[in-house]
Chain A
């Protein structure tokens, strides 16, 4: 259920007609994260952690690009 000034029809059409890039799980700075490709870079989509500090870690904020040399495959 929405409470927004965006017309639901617009939002629904957007969701139906746009493909969300497939996320990839990896280990970055000892945390499990999901990244999405953006050009040649990877952008953090979300963090999977029970460590609270991870959510305040500047380098792990969703939207930030990761240093590929520090990325480990899961």
Chain B
């Protein structure tokens, strides 16, 4: 009996390690491309940023250890506080509006009617435009002396507003153009989610004879919740990382009213040559976005209904 077990177990023990070792290596091999990509383009820059945030550094590299001085300097500066304010306001202006607008458009066009493809193409078309190109178009529209908005305002007898030169309106103006730019993507994702909902559910609803809003509340939104959750998370992160339209439309001005954190990081790193301070801001931004995403997963995901 004993001998028999040994006889059985010996080959098994000899085989397993080599097999599992091979499987282990094979697993790593499959992971290699993404590990290399992430390592080179995500993890290395991330750790380097954290490292640099503790130094006085310029574009060539660090030159003096500074401890927490960069953080201290940032947190006590008025300019960073106005950056945080601008960023939070920007997120609040853009994310809910984008998603509600996209949801509305997607609900309108989720029916299968003749010619619906044209509308779907229209509504998702802003996704195909680069931020730079759209920003330039908006810049011309906002121009107070030759832009469309001021011409219309003049024609209607309303006061002409200097959208991008007035600190009271600049952030609003940039947000408006951002909503326009990001609606296309959100629309496309939500529309895809709507198409994925089991049609039987709607058939049942029709048989039961419930109202459209009841159906929307009890079937569409719950079934759409994973998609909505995804788009909310992505939109939040995108809004926190907005750069292109700020750079082109306002350059962070007037009076720093649109100087969102990412733009402030860019300015410090590439214009003011203060990489240490830029890195510290990047680290702060990273932890803010991380905390927010964790919070979203903790609170939001409970309400998400996975099929």
Q: Tell me whether A and B are bound partners.
A: no
Q: Which residue numbers of B lie inside 8 Å of A, CB to CB?
A: none
